[in-house]
Structure 1
């Protein structure tokens, strides 16, 4: 266990070790895989992400964390609304394409992508999606936190999330079940 103490002479080494320990801890943090999508000036953007969270149900608010180096960051910075598309177990290829295997418009070659009534592209065959009207941005560290009010939501009948843990995509065994 690394404990940070900025007063010691080797504080820089401790910060590096703390970051390494944190990364190893986060590799054990299983999260559903999402693809964040938006449209700006006639161009579509998409990025795989796990740094997504619900904030509130009343009003319905979600947040996403986006690295400032990501291509998606620029249109979000310009105020673009966004969609959060939750992938199901059979959509690993989409996660990989939007996670860096493809660039630009080629990220939309796989899956049933449609333009929503609210602007952002949605993955119509996603397990679920949330369309968010951007309300606020917070800059912190290497990332920006974009907060949006949910203006539309969809949840498919099956619960079968694509999960990312320890650097791998996983689909739960026999994870599909219909909602009742």
Structure 2
């Protein structure tokens, strides 16, 4: 017997994760970005990461066309940015309201994020309702701050030590 969708979602809420925005730029679609929580490292040599993107999200089409993307880890001051890139506004509005610049690989990098990794696509695999996209890191940008976290359906912050 397979677990129900509701039980699966309830269980996954107990996994705390960082919040990131995946961005890309393609000739056909222009700048695109979306909020994701499914992001992890894959390999140190070569440096690779993966993100999981809802197959219905248009950002995946742009990544497929350009073959490039960035993962931008949000700071604890960027809840509104997370909400904006989660689908509450158009792609144009998302970037109009967000500090960004083109990175070395030609994709938008969110300049106030905690960290950004610019990647080229190594592999894209369909898994259920999502695409698993593996990228090889070409550039990294690290900045000061604390991460925005998501746990039990709400944004969280690290406790002061």
* Structure 2 equivalent of residue 148 of structure 1: 135
- Point out the structure with max Rg over C-alpha: 1
Q: Deviations over 1:110-152 (max 9, x none)?
A: 3321111211100111100100011111111111111110001
Aligned-pair Cα RMSD in Å: 1.5
Is the counterpart of residue 161 in structure 1 residue 136 in structure 2?
A: no
- TM-score (normalised: structure 1): 0.84
Contact 1:39-1:80 within 8 A present in 2 as well? no
Shift of 1:79: 4.2
Distance in 2 between the 1:80 and 1:104 partners?
19
* Structure 1 equivalent of residue 86 of structure 2: 99
The gaps in structure 1 that reach 5 residues or longer are 5-14, 176-180
Q: Secondary structure at the match of 1:88?
A: coil
Contact 1:86-1:129 within 8 A present in 2 as well? yes
The gaps in structure 2 that reach 5 residues or longer are none
* Structure 2 equivalent of residue 43 of structure 1: 30
Shift of 1:170: 1.6
* Structure 2 equivalent of residue 12 of structure 1: none
- Counting strand residues as a fraction of each chain, which structure ranks higher? 2
- TM-score (normalised: structure 2): 0.93
Distance in 1 between the 2:123 and 2:65 partners?
12
Distance in 2 between the 1:115 and 1:77 partners?
18
